[in-house]
Amino acid sequence: MTAPSDADIFVTTRWTCVLNAARSDTTRARDALAELCQTYWYPLYAYARRRGHSPHDSEDLTQGFFARLLRLNSLAGLSRERGKFRAFLLASMNHFLADEWQHASAQKRDVQRTISLDAEAAENRYRHEPVEHLTPELLFEKQWALTLLETVVQRLRAEYEASGRGALFMELRFAITGEKNDAPYAESAARLGMSEEAVRVAVHRLRQRYRQLLRAEIAQTVADESGLTEELRDLRRILAS
């Protein structure tokens, strides 16, 4: 399996689609934006919680934000200079919290549900976050990074399962997920019915494909190759903090 080059990726990236199509094809842009929002809603929920909002209010805030964001007229002002989807999303959420929601706070909330959001699972996940030292902005970055990595792992797993290699992925997933694995390759080889050398080759290919999918996923959230390089650098910084 091979991934397209970075130059090819940016022809069809979802965020580039939003930036390119916002003024001329709002339906297409909204669909691409909705797909990105569906993937990356949890970092915003955690951000709202860290800002002091209750679980119920954080769910409503997240849904209300996406309802406004996905309206046709909310896309008209986008341009390629807006850069990374991550930065755009956080800036837009801050604007929403500061303005729109304050204006509506005294009124009954009738929130349009635009994103499939599992609030119970989100709150359970939030309560297990080690967030004592994190500002809302740092928590957003951390959760963005973890969501991105989880998305890549799930896509890689789906690829392997689709090609009948699900058992291979599950046996070797430690090589990309950071799971502790004290067993030598020989034990994995025995369980898989492969030679130890074949397992080493399989691990190399798994890691290689993971890196390809990681670059492709990050490319979905930036406007160009320079943004991809910067986001990869930010990802390393966030995960190391």
pLDDT digits (tens, 9 = 90+) for 194-229: 999 999 999 999 999 999 999 999 988 888 888 889
Q: What DSSP line would sit under 156-223, residue for residue?
A: HHHHHHHTT-HHHHHHHTHHHH-----S-HHHHHHHHT--HHHHHHHHHHHHHHHHHHHHHHHHTTSS
pLDDT of res. 154: 96
- Digit-by-digit pLDDT tens for the chain (241 residues) are 555 566 555 556 777 777 766 666 667 777 888 888 889 999 999 999 999 999 998 998 998 888 888 775 566 666 555 568 898 889 989 988 887 656 655 454 555 666 777 888 889 888 887 766 789 999 999 999 999 999 999 999 999 999 999 999 999 999 998 776 767 889 999 999 999 999 999 999 999 999 999 999 998 888 888 888 999 999 999 998 8
Could you tell me what percentage of the chain is helix, strand and coil, using 3-state DSSP and rounding each to the nearest 5? Answer: 75, 0, 25
**226 Cβ neighbours under 8 A, 6+ residues apart:** none
At 55, give phi and psi (nearest 5°): -55, -45
**Cβ(43)–Cβ(122) below 8 Å:** no
- pLDDT attached to residue 108: 47
- Identify the H or E element spanning 99: none
For residues 36 and 218, the answer to whether their CB atoms sit within 8 Å is no
Query: Is this prediction's pTM over 0.85?
Result: no
Q: Domain locations in the chain?
A: 6-240
**16-45 pLDDT per residue, tens:** 777 766 666 667 777 888 888 889 999 999
Closest to 19 in 3D by CA, of 1, 6, 36, 7: 36
